[in-house]
Amino acid sequence: MKKIIIGILLAFFLSASVVWAESTRTATLTADAKVTTGRGFITGIIVMTDGTNSVTVEIYDNVTAGGEKIIPTWIIPTSATNRASALSFGGDGEPFDTGIYVDITTSGTVSYMVYYEKR
């Protein structure tokens, strides 16, 4: 069963990487962060949890927390067998004008990568 789950996750991430191949990807981040400034489109985000604690993700069209959200608050439940979650935005992605700021809230550990295109 573990091999099947790993295979499914690997297939998902490989397919996501094809969709996001033309996007810029951040390094692996572990806390709130300003991702970029200026205009563009966010095309996706992958979040890895610790397998114990849920994660709340807020993505702002800003260079700090607050302001206009690019997407509604995303709450990621987690379990030992469901540690990875991803959002992929269809078409060109979701536009941003000022920048991308990701606000992460969890009582555990988390890592994530954001995919985006500058315009």
Query: What domains, with CATH codes, occur in the chain?
Result: 2-118 (2.60.120)
- How far, in Å, CA of 27 to CA of 66, rounded? 23
What's the confidence (pLDDT) of residue 17?
Answer: 47
What's the confidence (pLDDT) of residue 22?
Answer: 73
Q: Name the residue with tokens 């790993």.
A: 6
Nearest by Cα to 55 from 79, 29, 27, 78:
78
CA–CA distance from 46 to each of 1, 67, 83, 97 (Å)?
23, 22, 11, 22
Instruction: Please give the average pLDDT of every successive group of 10 residues along the chain, which has 119 residues.
Output: 51 49 88 97 96 96 96 93 92 94 97 95
Q: Which residues contact 107 (CB under 8 A, 6 or more apart)?
A: 53
